[in-house]
Chain A
């Protein structure tokens, strides 16, 4: 991994009255990374971002940017720039003035401002609207202005606070691609705050999942999806079936356990502590068949289809496997005519390869 651009050491933000927004967070973000802070609303991700920008101050801990302690640096002197959730585009200035603002207030020469502003507008494809006022623009265009205004300062770190949440679905998909492309072109570290797991998974190179002010896991998107460390992460990222299990024994890299409704199975796990655990398995890794599946080592159980929801490319099926346990199963609709091939009330076999399941001990 290359040089650390942002390092956060044991940072907490406590408010008078006993509310802790951020609780002892430590993390390192490397140069050129597209880093996402992901979590449900109120998990402290925005507070953390604001502390990096200097708009909020930690009550404990240290934030370093580019190797320098930022404790005494006000936001206007930090090498970070932010794209605000409300865009915060200055309403009384034209697009050009908005983008040039950050250069003007720091005393950059007029000709230089003109050149760099034009360059930044070019980058976000807004050159033709330079003379417009923000109220004559759409939300997507205003967002580009906010982006250009921040990028024109050539910050070491660009902070984005829920940048896509106010856009409609179509625009959001386009902007997602554009942000990734932009990040690759400008080579600036991006830190994005989002509550949308799809957004984080599709854009970020690394993701920190936060809950209740603390970091749950920091990993790449695929690691986070396939190797969640806690129940919270497994549940928050994508859909998952969580099944309570009792740990029976451990040998080698495997743990044998008794899962509710599924019987005995052996699941790979580095180490297990305690005698209780959770088995996590993603809906797309479960399979359904009408006749009993054959194959060594498969975990299988009988069940009844309770619900079939058709989504075009996939069908989401809920199967009751007894003991009050429902499993979610996603099936690819691979042929035009068959659909999911099952219907409500049908008795089926649900099975999976235990290698696709994960044992969570936390």
Chain B
């Protein structure tokens, strides 16, 4: 098919073609209509949440007063926060090692390291459950005070999050000009100073992107959390699942909307932080 060009239109100006505009439109509608519906129904007065009856903020008040839901949300945020820090540090260190050093079986190590990305979550969930049971951590940890009783879930989340950080940071490091490192040493900096002053700033966009990825992955993880959580340590997705089995209530819509808002704000902050670095190469 040979498309005829209109005046002022280049052959690569796809965005100005009607069929592409329609396609874009359909894709965005499919992507966002469910989310918009969820948000809209969180303001619905209808108890069953099926028909639109009127605007209200009651659902938010109810969700706020629902201690179990708030507890689950607090747990989720705490887990995501701690897991993100650890996953980012470990992931960045693994990325640095893979970028910097040559060692025997590097290829196999790299493949194994990425395993949590590719293996089915259900397998990882079962494996972690078995591990925590046999090691006795399941019973030991659950008896601890908050937030230590979340340790199992946090460890599980770190385990599946850090490879994502590694992949992001590694791909960033590929573009690093080794002469920058040499210049730093030549100018009198030690290995450690060079790392903090030159390499870390260069990695920063990758670190932020990786951390953000880890945070959102951890926050909404259901399968692995379901297997590794005890009866007392319920996270938000697990709580929502148990509530939904008794029917979708507008309360859940409200809580989910809050979760979406947190994620969006986190993303915006991350992108803002990343913006000045972007121009830096």
When the two chains form their complex, are residues A92 and B202 in contact, meaning their CB atoms are under 8 A apart? yes
The interface of chain A, by Cβ under 8 A from chain B, is: 53-55, 74-77, 80-82, 84-86, 88, 90-92, 101-102, 105-106, 133, 135, 146, 149-150, 153
When the two chains form their complex, are residues B179 and A76 in contact, meaning their CB atoms are under 8 A apart? no
When the two chains form their complex, are residues A102 and B188 in contact, meaning their CB atoms are under 8 A apart? yes
Residue of A nearest to B189 (CB): A105
Q: Within B36-59, which residues are at the interface with A (CB < 8 Å)? A: none
Interface 1/0 per residue, B201-226 and A, CB below 8 Å: 11010000000000000000000000
C-alpha gap A149/B180 in the complex (Å): 13
Residues of A within 8 A of B204 (CB): 92
C-alpha gap A92/B180 in the complex (Å): 11
Asked, given contacts A84-B182, A88-B180, whether A101 binds B187 with beta carbons under 8 Å apart, the answer is yes
C-alpha gap A88/B193 in the complex (Å): 17
When the two chains form their complex, are residues A86 and B177 in contact, meaning their CB atoms are under 8 A apart? yes
Interface size on B, residues (CB 8 A): 22
When the two chains form their complex, are residues B188 and A106 in contact, meaning their CB atoms are under 8 A apart? yes
Asked, given contacts A88-B177, A88-B180, whether A82 binds B281 with beta carbons under 8 Å apart, the answer is no
Residues of B within 8 A of A80 (CB): 186
B183 interface residue (CB < 8 Å to A): yes
Residues of B within 8 A of A146 (CB): 183
When the two chains form their complex, are residues A88 and B185 in contact, meaning their CB atoms are under 8 A apart? no
When the two chains form their complex, are residues B277 and A81 in contact, meaning their CB atoms are under 8 A apart? no
Q: Which of A74, A75, A106, A133 contacts B280 (CB 8 A)?
A: A133
When the two chains form their complex, are residues A88 and B281 in contact, meaning their CB atoms are under 8 A apart? no
When the two chains form their complex, are residues A92 and B187 in contact, meaning their CB atoms are under 8 A apart? no
When the two chains form their complex, are residues B183 and A84 in contact, meaning their CB atoms are under 8 A apart? yes
Residues of B within 8 A of A85 (CB): 179
Residues of B within 8 A of A82 (CB): 182-183, 186
Asked, given contacts A102-B188, A105-B188, whether A55 binds B277 with beta carbons under 8 Å apart, the answer is no
When the two chains form their complex, are residues B186 and A53 in contact, meaning their CB atoms are under 8 A apart? yes
Known: A90-B201, A150-B186, A153-B188. 5 other contacts (CB 8 A): A75-B185, A82-B183, A88-B183, A90-B198, A101-B197
Nearest Cβ distance between residue A53 and chain B, in whole angstroms?
6
Among A55, A102, A105, the one with the most B-chain Cβ atoms within 10 Å of its Cβ is A105
Q: Within B169-191, which residues are at the interface with A (CB < 8 Å)? A: 177, 179-180, 182-190
Asked, given contacts A86-B177, A86-B179, A101-B197, whether A91 binds B281 with beta carbons under 8 Å apart, the answer is yes
Asked, given contacts A88-B179, A101-B197, A135-B280, whether A74 binds B187 with beta carbons under 8 Å apart, the answer is no
Residue of A nearest to B188 (CB): A106
Nearest Cβ distance between residue B279 and chain A, in whole angstroms?
5
C-alpha gap A74/B191 in the complex (Å): 10
C-alpha gap A106/B237 in the complex (Å): 51
When the two chains form their complex, are residues A90 and B189 in contact, meaning their CB atoms are under 8 A apart? no
Residues of B within 8 A of A77 (CB): 188
Residues of A within 8 A of B182 (CB): 55, 75, 82, 84, 88
Residues of A within 8 A of B189 (CB): 76, 101-102, 105
C-alpha gap A80/B186 in the complex (Å): 8
C-alpha gap A80/B177 in the complex (Å): 21
Nearest Cβ distance between residue A85 and chain B, in whole angstroms?
8
Nearest Cβ distance between residue A208 and chain B, in whole angstroms?
22
C-alpha gap A74/B186 in the complex (Å): 9
Residues of B within 8 A of A55 (CB): 182, 185-186
C-alpha gap A153/B186 in the complex (Å): 10
Nearest Cβ distance between residue A50 and chain B, in whole angstroms?
8
Among B177, B183, B198, the one with the most A-chain Cβ atoms within 10 Å of its Cβ is B183
Residues of B within 8 A of A76 (CB): 185-190
Residues of B within 8 A of A102 (CB): 187-189
Residues of A within 8 A of B184 (CB): 90, 101, 105
C-alpha gap A81/B179 in the complex (Å): 13
Residues of B within 8 A of A135 (CB): 279-281
When the two chains form their complex, are residues B279 and A81 in contact, meaning their CB atoms are under 8 A apart? no
Interface pairs A-B: 5 shortest CB-CB? A102-B187, A88-B183, A88-B179, A91-B280, A105-B189
Nearest Cβ distance between residue A57 and chain B, in whole angstroms?
13
Residue of A nearest to B179 (CB): A88
C-alpha gap A90/B186 in the complex (Å): 13
C-alpha gap A76/B181 in the complex (Å): 11
Residues of A within 8 A of B279 (CB): 133, 135
Q: List 13 A-B contacts (CB under 8 A).
A: A55-B186, A82-B186, A84-B179, A86-B177, A90-B183, A90-B197, A91-B280, A91-B281, A92-B201, A133-B279, A135-B279, A135-B281, A153-B188
C-alpha gap A76/B193 in the complex (Å): 11
C-alpha gap A77/B202 in the complex (Å): 24
C-alpha gap A90/B197 in the complex (Å): 9
Nearest Cβ distance between residue A44 and chain B, in whole angstroms?
18
Nearest Cβ distance between residue A147 and chain B, in whole angstroms?
12
Q: Which of A81, A92, A105 contacts B193 (CB 8 A)?
A: A105
Residue of A nearest to B280 (CB): A91
Residue of B nearest to A152 (CB): B187
Nearest Cβ distance between residue B208 and chain A, in whole angstroms?
14
Asked, given contacts A133-B280, A135-B280, whether A75 binds B186 with beta carbons under 8 Å apart, the answer is yes
C-alpha gap A13/B202 in the complex (Å): 32
C-alpha gap A135/B279 in the complex (Å): 7
Nearest Cβ distance between residue B176 and chain A, in whole angstroms?
10
C-alpha gap A133/B276 in the complex (Å): 11
Residues of B within 8 A of A88 (CB): 177, 179-180, 182-183
Residues of A within 8 A of B187 (CB): 76, 81, 101-102, 105, 149-150, 153
Among B184, B185, B201, B204, the one with the most A-chain Cβ atoms within 10 Å of its Cβ is B185
Q: Which of B186, B197, B280 contacts A81 (CB 8 A)?
A: B186
Residues of B within 8 A of A53 (CB): 186
Asked, given contacts A76-B188, A76-B190, A133-B279, whether A105 binds B197 with beta carbons under 8 Å apart, the answer is yes
Residues of A within 8 A of B179 (CB): 84-86, 88
